[in-house]
Amino acid sequence: MRTPELARELGVSEATVRRDLTELAREGRVERTHGGALPLRMGTATEPPFDLKAKRKVAEKERIATAALRHVKDGSTIILDSGTTALALARKLAERPVTVIALDLKVAEALARGRAEVWVVGGRARNGLFSLVGPWAENLLAEVHADLFFLGADAVDEEAVTNATLEEAEVKRRAHAAAKQTILVADHTKFGRRALARVLPLEALAGVVTDRGAKDFLPVLKEKVPGFIDLV
């Protein structure tokens, strides 16, 4: 939970929450993160299934997708990452005159319902998650040039964007290398956390689009990200 959420839930000040979380972390009872805390049972390789993620922070993801769309020019080529935030963006991109390379089966399906030109990388579809990984996906991305890569994340800490799986992290890195610019699209629950596999340092991002719940992490983003930060 985030510090403000705990303060509201417990009816105490944020300063009290921060002090108590520091003590609980010292006792080994929670994992302290930037702006909050995590239970120790959550491993860095843990990833919830798609159906569960699709029910989380729906309004925030819609706002993020709407804001991200403002950075898309007609006629551009876009690589769109896997995940439910990317899916929200795919539904809005579907009617734009753009070419989109999809790294996810659900994302590709949403795009194909509109008039955008859709390409799908090959590879292995992850059961219950629908992202595409493996050498086929990596090899195709090595052969393309894109204007934008909209990057999703399992976690974002003070140093880097991270992912729960090594395979998916490698696909994201290939997509970043294939694009002129990479923009992170992630809701506030991803910030102040760290997952298993490092994807990109924050300094590699051209911009970040997130919701207002990430305001506690804003000083880190302003320090590390050389491009824009949209808080919606």
pLDDT in tens, 149-159: 999 999 999 99
What crossing angle do the helices spanning 3-10 and 14-26 adopt, rounded to 10°? 110
Q: 3-state DSSP call for residue 194?
A: coil
Instruction: Find the helix or strand (DSSP H, E) in which 188 lies.
Output: none
CATH 3.40.50.1360 region(s) of the chain? Answer: 50-231
Region 4-22: mean pLDDT is 91
Quote the tokens at residue 224.
Answer: 């590390």
Mean pLDDT within 21-32: 78
What is the model's pTM?
0.81
Handedness of CA 83, 88, 94, 98 (dihedral sign): negative
In the numeric block, which tokens belong to residue 157? Answer: 């800490």
> Which CATH number applies to 50-231: 3.40.50.10490, 3.40.50.1360, 3.40.50.150, 2.40.10.10?
3.40.50.1360
List the structure tokens of 223: 């320090």
| Closest of 69, 88, 63, 84 to residue 214, by C-alpha | 63
